[in-house]
Chain A
Amino acid sequence: MNVVRNAALVALTCIMFAGNPGHAQEMSIAWLKVAEDLPPTLSNLDPVPDNLGAAGAETALADNATTGRFMGQDWSLQTFTVALGDDPSDTARQALAKTRFVIVDAPADALLSIADLPEAQGAVLMNAGSEDATLRAEACRANVLHTLPSVAMRTDALAQLLVKKKWDDLVMIAGGHARDQAFAASVEASFAKFGLTLAGRKEWRFDADMRRNAAQEVPLFTQDFGRYDALIVADEYHDFGRYVLYNTWEPRPIVGSEGLTAEAWGKAVEQWGAAQLQSRFFDEHARSMEPRDYAAWAAMRALGEAVTRTKSNDPAVLLDYMLGDDFELAGFKGRPLTFRTWNGQLRQPIPLLHPRALVANAPLEGFLHQRTELDTLGLDAPESACTAFN
């Protein structure tokens, strides 16, 4: 579902401003989407938007173009899509022939195959679609920066909240998809990092339609967890988790993929001027901004900031600047965002949200770090096996 089936070039968006001097600096950016095989879900309440991610890149393009108007830059965005099952290499080559700056929304394996193309050497790829932790560790690439938080950053944020709340008797239900299992594994790693223990874990293996059966099945399924403080649900496609809420045997909070979540962005983020970005995005796309939209927005804006400050459109200059001390992105998260020099991950606060409000903003007070508290989230230099940036 929600897979764009047309291959190759879908759209050409170009924002130009009249009245500029003839020697405008060209900044052409590609949005490259590799279709992901999304499993069916029990509920149709929350369809995945067709323009997920791309919408964020478009909003940021308009931001960059406005600045560019004063700086003598012409910003443009071209969209490339790879259909489900197709080899991304050909489309990626087309994109890389047009520009050296590509924002990629692709699963980890596809991203790596693109990053390793001869044509991609010396280019700047911005990962706005995969939160796979290995991309920030042993599988990192020197031509790839990451604006989407890694799954480790999300689960570390969650663990900090659990520690803070002293909810330390914890159990988990994990779905069967690879992303569910990766999230669950990351939760366990974060618990080890922050000294929490998981008292019980069960795998969700129901194939009944939970809209009719949740009330009967979930109490029984959760009964043998015994007493606990909070239940973690690992259900990254939002398949069954919504039916666990208010149906557990024990009256306890649900966190993880449902209930209280830790994401790059969400509708309830409104502090630090975020309301402006939210309303700009809503006006342009008639829906609220999701985490992957935010990652694509941040990727485009990071490039914009680098071009504005360096007045260059040379990929080596821009990559160097983004990884350097002078770079900072105002990302509506209350503090400047910067890139980690050891793996190219964008440092950022992670909001802890329920659907109608912000609960807390990680890093939480009291979690200290010698460099910046933001590095308590995700892979710190000693933990990352990435060597590409050395």
Chain B
Amino acid sequence: MLRHTALALILSVSPAFADEIWVSNEKDDTISVIDIETMEVVRTIDVGERPRGITFSQDYSVLYVCASDSDTVQVIDPETGEVLHELPSGEDPEQFVLHPDDRHLYIANEDDAITTVVDTQTRKVVAQIDVGIEPEGMAVSPDGEIAITTSETTNMAHWIDTKTQELFANTLVDSRPRHAEFVREGSELWVSAEIGGTITVFDRETQAEKAKINFEVEGVHPDRVQPVGFELTEGDTHAFVALGPANHVAVVNAETYEVEDYILVGRRVWHMDFNADRSLLFTTNGVSGDVTVIDVAKREPLKSIKVGRYPRGAAFRPTN
């Protein structure tokens, strides 16, 4: 009898869907949803024009999408794929970051040299901050005190005090910065420079440059080794760095800042995200229009998954 009840209980629970990776397809105006179990695209969702940055709210109940050419941030119900509403984003939103308060989005407005801060609850613009030309990379410290915008043509990381929404420092990096992340509980800021071919590591307290990471891929001219997106493994021990047209992802030791490995992926690799336990990494490959799945422990590519045209952003969504 007891066994019977237990069985009924199990059956009554909805079937366990696999976790997902969501990928924005910049030139198809769609999002491809990849099932992590089967490693196949199980849904394609129509979104606004030129979707680039994507991120989920902390409880994964909504997806935010930078629809760059629609000049808006769309808020999407991940269950239905429907656009719930739109947020005022400023013109040409490219990338954004969600503040740890789960409420404020910091958005880079690429065409306007502005960072827009939007309250996702009131759906109002809280602040607009003048930054350098072509802002793109966005990061926020884990304690929420500092937000970062990097500007591609001005070649700077702009440090924003999130209490006053004002700049308190501007630090030079190498040419064409693309992506920024706080590392080691927010004690370091890492900024990639696409044309400079480097990642600059800053000390958070002093905003002073602490280290510079260089890359060298055998058989690829240094000009073509262009670090863009990157993500850190569990415990921030290693960074996986997309090298753009070098078609490789570098594995960087985050203690020594040395590159330990290079992994071959698809063409013009942009951004990436991990699965739940960070054993798998999914990279978006813009030119080849696919996603490479990397075995993080073995540092080997496992599979390519065809998605839409010019996949750009990637975001993990748990479903259990």
Q: Which residues of A contact B (CB under 8 A)?
A: 62-63, 66-67, 70-71, 273, 276, 279-280, 305, 308-309, 328-330, 334-336, 372-374
Asked if B245 is an interface residue, CB under 8 A from chain A, the answer is yes
A selection of 15 A-B contacts at a CB cut-off of 8 Å is A62-B133, A67-B156, A273-B176, A276-B110, A276-B111, A305-B175, A308-B155, A328-B175, A328-B195, A330-B194, A336-B223, A372-B221, A372-B223, A373-B221, A374-B223
Residues of A within 8 A of B155 (CB): 67, 305, 308, 330
Given A66-B132, A335-B224, A336-B175, 17 other A-B residues pairs in contact with their CB atoms under 8 A: A63-B153, A66-B113, A67-B155, A70-B158, A273-B134, A273-B152, A276-B152, A305-B155, A328-B174, A328-B195, A330-B153, A330-B155, A330-B194, A330-B195, A334-B245, A336-B197, A372-B221
Q: C-beta contact mask, B240-274 vs A, less than 8 Å → 1, else 0?
A: 00000100000000000000000000000000000
Which residues of A are found within 8 Å of B172, using beta-carbon distances?
308-309
Once the chains are docked, how many angstroms separate the CA of A313 from the CA of B149?
27
**Chain B residues with CB below 8 A from A70, complex form:** 132, 154, 156, 158, 170
Q: Contacts of B144 on A, CB cut-off 8 Å? A: none
What residues on B are CB-neighbors of A273 within 8 Å? 134, 152, 176
Task: Say yes or no: A330-B176 contact (C-beta < 8 A), given A66-B132, A66-B154.
Answer: yes
- Nearest-CB distance from B310 to chain A (Å)? 11
A67 close to B133 (CB less than 8 A): yes
Q: Return B197 CB to nearest CB of chain A, in Å.
A: 8
Chain B, residues 118-151, CB within 8 Å of chain A (1/0): the string is 0000000000000011100000000000000000
Interface of A is mostly: helix
User: Which chain B residues (180-209) contact chain A, with CB distance < 8 Å?
Assistant: 194-197
Q: How far is the CA of A373 from the CA of B134 in the complex (A)?
A: 29
* Docked CA distance A279–B69 (Å): 12
- Of chain B, the residue at the smallest CB distance from A337 is B195
* Residues of the A chain whose Cβ atoms lie less than 8 Å from the Cβ of B113: 66
Q: Which 8 A-B pairs have the closest CB atoms?
A: A335-B223, A330-B195, A330-B175, A70-B170, A67-B154, A330-B176, A336-B195, A66-B133
Verify A276–B245 contact, CB threshold 8 A. Answer: no
Note all chain B residues with C-beta closer than 8 A to A67: 132-133, 153-156
Q: Which residue of B is nearest A283, CB measured? A: B111
Q: Which of B111, B195, B221 contacts A280 (CB 8 A)?
A: B111
Q: Which of A63, A280, A336 has the most CB of B within 10 A?
A: A336
CA distance A374 to B221 in the complex (A): 11
A329–B175 touching, CB < 8 Å:
yes
Could you say which residues of chain B place their CB within 8 Å of the CB of A62?
Answer: 133
Which B residues are CB-close (under 8 A) to A372? 221, 223
**Chain B residue with the shortest CB-CB distance to A373:** B221
Q: What's the least CB distance linking B293 to chain A, in Å?
A: 26
In this complex, the member of A70, A309, A334, A372 whose beta carbon has the largest number of chain B beta carbons within 10 angstroms is A70
Which B residues from 77 to 114 make CB contacts under 8 A with A?
Answer: 110-111, 113
Shortest distance in angstroms between B18's beta carbon and chain A's nearest beta carbon? 35
B90 CB to nearest A CB, Å: 15
Question: Using Cβ atoms and an 8 Å threshold, which residues of chain B touch A279?
Answer: 111
- Chain A residues whose CB sits within 8 angstroms of the CB of B196 once the complex forms: 328, 336
Chain A residues with CB below 8 A from B175, complex form: 305, 328-330, 336
Q: How far is the CB of A247 from chain B (nearest CB, A)?
A: 36
